[in-house]
């Protein structure tokens, strides 16, 4: 692929994104004194803002890169669910994949004062539904109608990705030769059998396999990743190593991409950006090393901003062209 036309090739790519949708509520302010009631700061509120969070942030990143995204997930019959639909409309995202249920919409409220993350408040029901057949059928219908070029499974352990939903989605994708990429969490970590590319971070792979992995010991990293690939019968693993970069083993090719020096301000949403970029690269059959490089750069770029923000496509392309071939 001509690297000068890399992002151009992403435009219009059909991405089906299945996962936990939520609202990120931001309260911005300043701290001028401590509370007389408790040893906590008093935040003088300057503004409030609602953004798409969770899998919604992945949708925004894919959309920013020019993809045609169909987010699939649940919202509650509540004010936050209405906010999700409004935020979708504001971003030009389709609401066809939204399934309304009795479960409340997840809301995460972040209080940021003087450019520092002070506290986060979570409103959610993280339990798994006893009956997931409606979601299974909904996903199957979305795959058939949308005909995606890649499927992202974005798991936050909020109840959408049950064992059966995971299994049936991957089975449907594999039967149609649609690549799948997973951003996992702890509860169903080893349920993603047959996935194309599995993207854990260092903490997740250590907890999921029950072993300690030293990110500075590449032979140990390679051993852990190989073990995970064998357990999942996956075609590959993209492991993020925080300040030590990323490691990929995909289709028998291994590469380690070190992290690039940056002014890290906030790591919120970095994993969402990594999986978004990797998914589009995977859809276009990029080489494993290029998938890892581009995903690594994307994750690093968004860490230079406060709060969860989408990737800037031109910055990503410029850095990829700069570092590709090094």
- Percentage with pLDDT > 90 across the chain: 72
Q: What is the pLDDT of residue 271?
A: 74
Query: Is there a domain that residue 223 lies in?
Result: yes
pLDDT digits 0-9 by tens, 5-22: 677 888 999 999 999 999
Banded pLDDT at 196 (limits 50, 70, 90): very high
CATH number at residue 94: 3.40.1190.20
What average pLDDT does range 163-192 have in this prediction? 97
Query: Is there a domain that residue 238 lies in?
Result: no
Q: What is the pLDDT of residue 266?
A: 43
Query: Is there a domain that residue 298 lies in?
Result: no
Tell me: pLDDT of 269 over 60. Answer: no
Banded pLDDT at 203 (limits 50, 70, 90): very high
In angstroms, rounded to a whole number, what is the distance separating the alpha carbons of residues 130 and 132? 6
pLDDT digits 0-9 by tens, 207-230: 999 999 999 999 999 999 999 999
Residue recorded with tokens 């047959």: 194
| Residue of 20, 24, 155, 272 with catalytic role | 272
Query: Is there a domain that residue 283 lies in?
Result: no
pLDDT digits 0-9 by tens, 226-260: 999 999 999 999 999 988 888 999 999 999 988 76
Bridge partners (DSSP) listed for residue 173: none
Q: Are strands 150-154 and 14-19 parallel, antiparallel or unpaired?
A: parallel
Better pLDDT: 272 or 315 = 272
pLDDT digits 0-9 by tens, 106-157: 999 999 999 888 999 999 998 898 889 999 999 999 999 999 999 999 999 9
Query: Is there a domain that residue 245 lies in?
Result: no
Query: CA 8, 13, 14 angle in degrees (round to 5)?
Result: 165
Tell me: pLDDT of 80 over 90. Answer: yes
- Please count the structural domains in the chain: 1
Q: What is the pLDDT of residue 8?
A: 82
Distance of CA 215 to the CA centre of its chain: 21
In angstroms, rounded to a whole number, what is the distance separating the alpha carbons of residues 133 and 211? 34
**Closest-CA residue to 254 (of 222, 277, 210, 228):** 222
Query: Is there a domain that residue 51 lies in?
Result: yes
- Least confident among 93-97, 209-213, 318-322: 318-322
Residue 229, number of CB atoms within 10 A of its CB: 17
Query: Is there a domain that residue 259 lies in?
Result: no
Full domain range(s) for residue 137: 3-30+45-233
To the nearest whole number, what is the mean pLDDT of the chain? 89
Q: What is the pLDDT of residue 265?
A: 42
Catalytic site includes residue 20: no
pLDDT digits 0-9 by tens, 278-314: 999 999 999 999 899 888 887 756 444 445 556 666 6
Query: Is there a domain that residue 82 lies in?
Result: yes
What average pLDDT does range 56-81 have in this prediction? 94
Q: What is the pLDDT of residue 23?
A: 95
- Least confident among 94-103, 169-178, 278-287, 312-321: 312-321
Residues 286, 288, 291, 293: what is their CA dihedral angle, to the nearest 10 degrees? -130
């Amino acid at each position: 692929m001509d690297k000068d036309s890399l992002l151009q090739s992403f435009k219009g790519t059909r991405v089906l994104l299945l996962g936990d949708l939520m609202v990120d509520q931001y309260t911005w302010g300043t701290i001028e004194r401590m509370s007389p009631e408790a040893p906590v700061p008093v935040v003088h509120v300057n503004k409030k803002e609602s953004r798409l969070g969770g899998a919604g942030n992945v949708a925004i990143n894919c959309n920013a890169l020019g993809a045609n995204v169909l987010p699939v997930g649940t919202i509650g019959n509540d004010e936050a669910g209405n906010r999700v639909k409004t935020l979708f409309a504001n971003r030009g995202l389709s609401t066809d994949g939204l399934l309304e249920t009795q479960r409340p919409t997840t809301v995460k409220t972040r209080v940021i004062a003087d450019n520092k993350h002070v506290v986060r408040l979570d409103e959610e029901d993280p339990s798994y539904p006893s009956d997931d057949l409606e979601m299974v059928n909904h996903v199957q219908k979305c795959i058939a109608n949308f005909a995606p070029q890649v499927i992202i499974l974005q798991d936050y352990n909020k109840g959408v990705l049950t064992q059966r939903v995971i299994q049936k989605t991957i089975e449907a994708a594999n039967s149609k030769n649609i690549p799948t990429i997973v951003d996992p969490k702890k509860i169903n970590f080893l349920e993603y059998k047959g996935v194309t590319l599995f993207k854990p971070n260092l903490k997740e792979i250590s907890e999921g396999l029950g072993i300690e992995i030293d990110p500075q010991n590449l032979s140990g990293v390679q051993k852990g990743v190989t073990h995970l690939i064998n357990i999942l019968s996956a075609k590959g693993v993209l492991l993020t190593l925080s300040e030590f970069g990323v490691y990929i083993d995909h289709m028998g090719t291994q590469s380690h991409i070190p992290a690039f020096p940056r002014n890290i301000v906030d790591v919120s949403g970095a994993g969402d950006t990594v999986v978004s970029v990797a998914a589009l690269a995977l859809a276009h059959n990029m080489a494993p090393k290029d998938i890892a490089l581009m995903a690594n750069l994307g994750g690093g770029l968004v860490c230079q901003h406060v709060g969860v923000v989408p990737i800037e496509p031109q910055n990503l392309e410029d850095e990829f062209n700069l570092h590709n071939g090094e």
